[in-house]
Amino acid sequence: MGRGYTVEESVEKYLTSLSAAAGSCKTGLLIGQCSAQKDFVVLAVKTPHRESEGASDSRRVLGPLDDIDADWVAEHARQVSRMLPGGVNVLGLFLITPPELSKEAQNKLKGLIFAVDKCISKSRLWDLSEDDVTDRVTLHICSKTRKAICKTYDVKDPKCSAKPADWKYLSCISSSWPVLTCSVKVDLQIPVTESSSEKCMKHGLGRWAKQIEAGLCLINGRPASDDSELLSGSKKSTKMSQQALQVQILVTEEDPVQRCSAVVQASSGSVHVRGTVHCRAYIHTNKPRTRHAAQAIKRDVVNTVSNRVEMLLEDLQMNEGGPASEQQDLPRRVFAPLPGSGLTVCDYMFPDETAADVAERLKEMLDWESAEEDIDTSVESPADEGRDDGAAQDVPIESMTEPVKQQKTSQYYAGVAVAAAVALLATATSLLYLNE
């Protein structure tokens, strides 16, 4: 028997509202959370039109399925995955086609699902665990009959065959999902070289990510390393109120064995990432375990920092870089409620942006209208609020490049870059400031 998918009724309404033009197809993402027994789909989002679409009809002679750009679908999935809190992921894809393309649709969906997984996994800094589900869901919908066929593919096996899956709609499945929150203090110094600065950044962040993964997670003051149930008491009702859980993650210094194996490495400068970030994760109510909740919040910690660094590098590239030595503010995290659920999604706001810019991106990426006043921009304070004086304090996440003084040979002892423990404190305040 295949996997089971419990789906929010709002997803059914959204999919029903989508109509592809005659002879054309429409694609989109399915978003939710996995568990050992079944998965939960809480959101469906159509793939936005590409700016260049409609400029040429040369590709359309190949047919509607050939006109689907796998790279564009995968890029949309990558952008959307940045907007998801811990525990919520892109689970798969839907494809709406005319009835005459039903047979070819499955082959197209298989190619798309592998392209999406490859694109999202490329920048991931954490490793999959034995508990992670690698099945991804595809939903094919006939535009005329509205008949839906649900199948799954194991994205870790390129030669896998499609497996049938059960697709069932229910209401309010995520309204009572517990939310875990914490604030994370980050202070990293990463050596970089002129030839491969992005590679150096990813390597440095990867070392820090392993520290976060190995850290001790406290949920409401209790260790979350065992297999005990996260929610105490009797079986929960799907209409129960949402619980808010405070998290701390205690991280020790780098493993002494790794420090002993340090190597000498030439360096042209360094990037200093420091500040405090707000982290958030959701966990389903189907007998969740504390270790699964700990994993979800830790991954959100890693994702939100790496996403911001990645976004800053992309921004600098688009603007043809900047001065070699200067301070750059990383974008701060803002949240917006997901309609019809107890969940929120996030976006990242650069210093020169406003809530209106965030609302526009939510419309483009997630296909829903969000009022500016509903966007919570208060969880992380603007960068300039933390720069009154030189006193030790929480500052917004920043990236600072410190060029090495001109000398014959520049050296850096890799393995001792992270000197201080990172303490994740259960507080609501968050300032982000990145030194570059």
pLDDT, residue 112, reads 97
255 and 124, same structural domain?
no
Domain boundary among 116, 143, 170: 170
pLDDT, residue 220, reads 92
CATH of the domain at 37: 3.40.140.10
Query: Cα separation of 272 and 206, whole Å?
Result: 15
> How many domains in the chain?
2
248 and 152, same structural domain?
no
pLDDT, residue 239, reads 53
Domain boundary among 144, 170, 196: 170
131 and 189, same structural domain?
no
CA distances (Å), 428 to each of 44, 140, 380, in order?
A: 30, 42, 8
Chain CA centroid to CA 251, Å: 22
Q: In 3D, which of 304, 228, 236, 295 has the Cα closest to residue 33?
A: 295
Query: Cα separation of 313 and 241, whole Å?
Result: 41
Domain hosting 156: range is 4-170
pLDDT, residue 66, reads 86
- The token pair that represents 299 in the structure block: 């991954």
293 and 184, same structural domain?
yes
Helices (H), 70-214: 70-82, 102-121, 197-214
Q: Which amino acid makes up residue 287?
A: K
164 and 255, same structural domain?
no
82 and 34, same structural domain?
yes
239 and 360, same structural domain?
yes
CA angle 323, 327, 331 (to 5 degrees): 110
160 and 122, same structural domain?
yes
Query: Cα separation of 335 and 339, whole Å?
Result: 13
Q: In 3D, which of 292, 317, 305 has the Cα closest to residue 129?
A: 292
Domain boundary among 152, 170, 188: 170
Phi and psi dihedrals of 340, rounded to 5?
75, 15
345 and 231, same structural domain?
yes
282 and 196, same structural domain?
yes
CA angle 124, 364, 116 (to 5 degrees): 35
184 and 149, same structural domain?
no
- According to DSSP, the β-strands at 269-282 and 332-337 are unpaired
Place of tokens 């990645």: 310
- Which residues are CB-neighbours of 55 under 8 A, at least 6 positions away? none
pLDDT, residue 137, reads 97
231 and 319, same structural domain?
yes
Query: Cα separation of 74 and 346, whole Å?
Result: 19
CB 89 within 8 A of CB 283: no
pLDDT, residue 265, reads 62
What is the chain's pLDDT, residue by residue, as a tens digit (436 residues)?
Answer: 689 999 999 999 999 999 777 778 999 999 999 988 889 999 999 999 887 644 444 444 457 898 899 999 999 999 999 999 999 999 999 999 999 998 899 999 999 999 999 999 998 999 898 889 999 999 999 999 999 999 999 999 999 999 999 999 999 999 999 999 999 999 998 888 777 777 888 889 999 999 999 999 999 999 987 788 888 654 444 456 789 999 999 988 665 555 555 565 666 788 889 899 999 999 998 888 999 999 999 999 999 999 999 998 888 778 765 545 578 889 999 999 998 889 999 999 999 999 999 999 999 999 999 999 999 999 997 755 544 443 333 434 444 434 433 333 322 222 222 222 222 222 222 223 433 3
